[in-house]
Amino acid sequence: MTVITHAFSVRVYYEDTDHGGIVYYANYLKFMERARTEFLRDAGIELDELESVSGIVFAVTEAHVHYLNPARFNDVLIVDSTLIEVRGARMTFQQQIRREAENIVESEIRLACMDREGRPRRIPAELRRKIQPELTPAAAVREPA
């Protein structure tokens, strides 16, 4: 089975670091959210249109993050994103942040499709059609390399 991975590059600036000289732990979640936004954009989905046209937003419901190595000011990081589940109102990503081949952060992020009032909404058929080709079944991702 093919694993479909979307790579997004992030430069670490002063704003991202803390006084320990490394990237502040919450800021990796910003990098991951930027990468998910670009993943969806590349699949033809613009989140602002989705909201204004279909009244739909995605909210993170779970984040599981493993911090393996620190990143530092001026590093160029790659966020690898793999969509492993699209079901009902739910979408799940595995995201890995690396500096070249060195793993920095590994995560699994679950999102829920909602209307503007926060009620769960089945992912609309058209949106599903756009992201289906980007989906890698979780089984494939978790197989040993």
> Measuring CA to CA, which residue among 47, 126, 122 is closest to residue 89?
122
Query: Is there binding between residue 73 and a copy of itself (CB under 8 A)?
Result: yes
d(CA 137, CA 135): 6
Q: Which residues contact 86 (CB under 8 A, 6 or more apart)?
A: 92, 123, 128, 131, 132, 135
User: Which residue from 1, 19, 133, 144 is in contact with a copy of itself, where contact means CB under 8 A?
Assistant: 19
Shortest reach from residue 82's CB to a copy of itself, in Å:
19
d(CA 86, CA 8): 21
Shortest reach from residue 103's CB to a copy of itself, in Å:
13
User: Which residue from 7, 24, 87, 137 is in contact with a copy of itself, where contact means CB under 8 A?
Assistant: 24
Pairing of strands 102-115, 90-99: antiparallel
Side-chain half-sphere CA neighbours of 109 within 13 A = 24
Query: Is there binding between residue 70 and a copy of itself (CB under 8 A)?
Result: yes
Query: Is there binding between residue 17 and a copy of itself (CB under 8 A)?
Result: yes
Catalytic residue, chosen from 18, 48, 80, 115, is 18
User: Which residue from 42, 44, 62, 103 is in contact with a copy of itself, where contact means CB under 8 A?
Assistant: 62
Are 111 and 52 in contact by the 8 Å Cβ rule? The answer is: no
Catalytic residue ranges: 18
Chain contacts with a copy of itself (rule: CB under 8 A):
11, 13-15, 17-22, 24-27, 29-30, 33-34, 37, 46-48, 57, 59-67, 70, 72-74, 118
